[in-house]
Amino acid sequence: MLGPVFVYSLLVFVCALAIFRPAFGIVGFYGFVLLDPAWNWRWSLEPGVTYQKYIFYSLFVGFVLSGFGGMRLSRWSWIALVMSMLFLLIAWISAQNTVSRVDTDFFMSVVWKHFLVVAIGLFVLKDWRTLKWLLVIAVLAQGYNAYQINVDYFQTGFSRFAHGTAWGSAMVDNNGYSILTVPILGAAFSLALFENKIFFRVLYLGVGMLQVHQIMLLESRGCMLAGIAMVPILVWYMPRRNGNVMTVAAAFVMAAILAGPSVVNEFTSSFAGSGERDSSADSRFKLWQAGMRITQEYPWLGVGPNAARVLVPRPQYYEGGLDQPDKALHNLFFDVSTGVGIPGFLCYFSLYFMPMFYAWKTYRRDDVEGGAIRLAVFAGIFGYLVASMFSSGVLFESCYILVVAGFALSNIDARQRQEDASWLPGGAHDDAHLPCPAKGG
């Protein structure tokens, strides 16, 4: 009984917030997506209810009532909107001649909603406090799932979600849920490194370690590699203070304790020679080869969004062929390039590289308000792109959280520059497209 009371009360609260304060509607929308109440309280809730759609409708109403957000966008954000529309246009054109109508129709029915939420977020996320809430709620919501996966392992002594049992209401496999976790993992550690209060620093660090162990339990080698790739970024760019040295040391010790021999063996098998790799690792190289061949054969519009999977098993693409009707490419880069061609590929990935570059360029260790957000954006997106070499999360919302946060940073910076310039002789200047100068970063 407590499950429905909690979930429906939270839903009503978030919907009301979305109408009257659309910025927190964005926070609530992504929080519900990551918390996944339909899964975590599946024993007590009515099946088949899509809670996010009610939040989305409320968010759209609030967006309209607020005068479409009223936020003055930076040039970075305007470019992002143009790239988003171009990608959707190219995807729609490509979809007209898809080689797999069912797979493409599913993709098109979902992706435009993701892009619309991101676009609304650019107009309504106006201040540092809301951006931090966005990251905090995302970390706690996904952290609850990481906690449940850890609890299941310690109760059963077996990581069943790494071996055929899906996780979440979307029934995502071990690699899929791990790649969903990676951007939020970057956010968790970024928040911990900038947090002054001991309680919250321990909280974010604890959630981050749950996420690290979750990735280990799910045996996702690509996401283990992504997590390791984020470490030097987080350590190099963290604020220089004694508390962070202790935080990093504690994280290393806990990770070493959690990573037993089985995890180490699983990870190191990724670097085995061609004659020593297991079938899963070996197939990744053949899938990349198939993705490259399909992209070369259909460079302009691809074969239809999400449709290349039906071509992959053919021997002219996959070495030796596969005795199955379809096979996912397990690589975000080839998933996009084979689906919409090179022009669509460039439009899509500009939405990742632009906020990542902007956050890195404007990052300062002494930035009390925005430092954690900037570090989360460029470390988290970088980790996600590394993980995306081994799986595809094109329809997962977690990385879009960092995308919208990155572009919102540019909007807030542009507004701040204009306000500062208005006090100077000659009045305000339109330099919304310029990044803030980095200091000591």
354 with 80: CB under 8 angstroms? yes
Residue 325 CB coordination number (10 Å): 9
The whole-angstrom separation of Cα 338 and Cα 420 is 46
Same domain, 285 and 325: yes
Same domain, 430 and 395: yes
Position 431 scores a pLDDT of 47
Same domain, 16 and 165: no
Same domain, 40 and 156: no
Residue 12 sits in which domain range?
Answer: 1-70
What integer is the mean pLDDT of 118-130?
96
pLDDT at residue 391 greater than cutoff 70:
yes
Write down which residue in 52, 70, 88 finishes a domain: 70
The whole-angstrom separation of Cα 324 and Cα 226 is 30
Cα–Cα distance list, 287 to 93, 279, 307, 315, 322 (Å): 25, 12, 14, 12, 11
Same domain, 254 and 304: yes
pLDDT at residue 439 greater than cutoff 50:
no
Q: What confidence tens digit (pLDDT) does each residue in 360-373 have?
A: 999 999 998 999 99
Q: What confidence category does residue 241 fall into, taking pLDDT thresholds of 50, 70 and 90?
A: confident
Same domain, 229 and 289: yes
Same domain, 12 and 107: no
Same domain, 49 and 91: no
The whole-angstrom separation of Cα 169 and Cα 112 is 20
The most distant pair of C-alpha atoms in the chain lies apart, rounded to whole Å, by 73
Q: What confidence tens digit (pLDDT) does each residue in 161-189 have?
A: 988 788 988 889 999 999 999 999 999 99
What integer is the mean pLDDT of 74-95?
98
Same domain, 18 and 128: no
What integer is the mean pLDDT of 398-424?
90
Residue carrying the six token digits 């071509």: 311
pLDDT: which is higher, 319 or 70: 319
What integer is the mean pLDDT of 61-90?
94
Q: What confidence tens digit (pLDDT) does each residue in 338-387 have?
A: 999 999 999 999 999 999 999 999 999 999 899 999 999 999 999 999 99
Same domain, 64 and 146: no
Write down which residue in 70, 95, 125 finishes a domain: 70
Strand partners of residue 167: 172
What integer is the mean pLDDT of 22-36?
96
Q: Which among 55, 171, 194, 73 is positioned nearest to 126, based on CA atoms?
A: 73
Q: Provide the token pair at 206.
A: 């604890």
Same domain, 87 and 55: no
Checking 147-156 for CB contacts under 8 A at 24+ apart, the result is 147/210, 148/40, 149/214, 149/217, 149/218, 150/210, 150/213, 150/214, 150/217, 153/217
Residue carrying the six token digits 């987080």: 234
The b-or-e profile of 24-45 (16+ CB within 10 A means b, else e) is bbbbbbbbbbbbbbbbbeeeeb
pLDDT at residue 10 greater than cutoff 50:
yes
What integer is the mean pLDDT of 187-205?
95
Position 71 scores a pLDDT of 77
Write down which residue in 38, 54, 70 finishes a domain: 70
**Mean pLDDT taken over the chain:** 90
Position 258 scores a pLDDT of 85
Q: What confidence category does residue 23 fall into, taking pLDDT thresholds of 50, 70 and 90?
A: very high
pLDDT at residue 309 greater than cutoff 80:
yes
Residue 418 CB coordination number (10 Å): 16
pLDDT at residue 216 greater than cutoff 60:
yes
| Range scoring the smallest mean pLDDT among 44-53, 170-179, 286-295 | 44-53
What integer is the mean pLDDT of 404-412?
97
Domain count, the chain: 2
Position 423 scores a pLDDT of 65
Same domain, 115 and 45: no
Checking 265-271 for CB contacts under 8 A at 24+ apart, the result is 266/219, 266/221, 266/224, 267/221, 267/224, 267/225, 269/221, 270/221, 270/222, 270/225
